[in-house]
């Protein structure tokens, strides 16, 4: 969403600007995204991303001890994939909050993971 030259930029900006629900972001995702934005686009764009949390466009979700247990389970289960801690944290938080959908462009990982609470996630866009 941050990179205006990205093929998915317009679609992602429109989605976020029209979204009427909460946009929840697990803490590990924030750090990975901030690092990628800083590396590819610079510190100014990284700061713009971080500002989205202070104006409540994005809502930070801290992981609980139970979430960390589930993250470890997922990392082990999908070790050949690999799923990784950040993506596993998205799954764990979605499961613990009973969420049905994920806003992600990462169809490869999130379409392969079967959550505990439903057959699959609805992936948007």
Is it true that the peptide bond before 82 is cis, omega within 30 degrees of 0? Answer: yes
Residue 20, pLDDT score: 72
Mean pLDDT calculated for residue range 24-31: 96
What number does CATH give the domain 9-124? 3.40.50.1010
Mean pLDDT of 44-67: 94
pLDDT tens digits for range 64-120: 999 999 999 999 999 998 999 999 999 999 999 999 999 888 889 999 999 999 999
In terms of pLDDT, which residue wins out, 56 or 69? Answer: 69
CB 124 within 8 A of CB 11: no
CA-CA-CA-CA torsion sign (6, 122, 78, 115): positive
- When pLDDT is averaged across residues 30-54 and rounded to a whole number, the result is 93
């Amino acid at each position: 969403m941050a990179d205006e030259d990205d093929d998915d930029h317009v679609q992602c900006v429109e989605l976020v600007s029209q979204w009427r629900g909460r946009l929840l972001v697990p803490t590990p995702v924030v750090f990975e995204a901030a690092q990628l934005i800083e590396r590819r686009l610079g510190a100014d764009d990284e700061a713009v991303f971080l500002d989205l949390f202070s104006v409540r466009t994005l809502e930070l979700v801290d992981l609980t001890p139970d979430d960390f247990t589930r993250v470890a389970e997922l990392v082990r289960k999908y070790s050949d994939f690999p799923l990784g801690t950040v993506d596993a944290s998205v799954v764990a938080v979605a499961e613990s909050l009973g969420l049905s959908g994920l806003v992600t462009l990462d169809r490869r990982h999130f379409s392969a993971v079967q959550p505990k609470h439903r057959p699959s996630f609805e992936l948007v866009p």
